[in-house]
Amino acid sequence: MLVVAIDPPVREEKDKRIDILVRGVDEYVSGYKIGIPFLLKHGKQGIRRLRRLTEKPIIADLKLADIGDIMSTTVKHLANTGVNAVIAHAFVGYNGALETLVKTSMVTGVGVILVASMSHDGSREFIDKHIDEFLDLAVKAGVEGIVAPATRPNVIRYARERLGGSIKIYSPGIGIQGAEPGSALCAGANYEIVGRLITGSKNPGEAAREVREIQLKRWSKCHHG
Ligand code: BMP
């Protein structure tokens, strides 16, 4: 239900910070999402260290958007680090791009999550205008999940209706970006991605526990009245 985004931690003072963060939040989370800042700062060694700290899934949010061969090579570099999935943009299309990425994913076991819509306002300028095509592409490519924004729950509801139940929805935008914990889950998301609300807290473990508690309360309210 809760995926922590480590971008890296905002309050990071020393490398030890990641160890402290993971030890504090691990029991409350379903997985971790690491971004390009994490990779640039800590490298593949950092991902391997994170892998040793947790058994939960790790998503590499590289927002891949390239020709298939380059995306495939990138995933092969990540495959031996313990990463479980990568995030890619949908707008690159299937032929010569996502088709190759998905084939590599089958060989390496690194799943693919596609960006169907984003949490910032500018997503409406271009990305959201193509949401139908992106959702169809997610089904055609057989990806494991999509990203849809907690900041616009109507987009999550639309995606859930169109996708049915088999593709997971990962939803960022909780906390600092304005959405309430649990609101995306109520709209049909499987996971809420939360970064700074937890990583920027003095006590990340306590922050994660609180987010989880609010998620559960809201979720049980919207499902059982
Ligand atoms: P935060 O909870 O601190 O706002 O972080 C949100 C995380 O989700 C960041 O890692 C960001 O890269 C990611 N994200 C997002 O905010 N909006 C999107 O549409 C897609 C994302 O991956």
Count of CB atoms within 10 A of residue 136's CB?
15
Q: Is 66 a catalytic residue?
A: yes
- CATH class held by domain 2-224: alpha beta
Q: Is 76 a catalytic residue?
A: no
Q: What is the ipTM of this complex?
A: 0.99
Q: Is the CB of 34 under 6 A from ligand 1?
A: no
Helix (H, G, I), strand (E, B) or coil at 199: helix
H helix runs in the chain, sequence order: 16-25, 36-53, 68-79, 99-108, 131-141, 153-163, 183-187, 196-199, 204-224
- Mean pLDDT of the chain, nearest integer: 95
Per-residue pLDDT, 179: 98
76 vs 15, which has greater pLDDT? Answer: 76
Q: Is the CB of 9 under 6 A from ligand 1?
A: no
pLDDT tens sequence across 48-59: 999 999 999 999
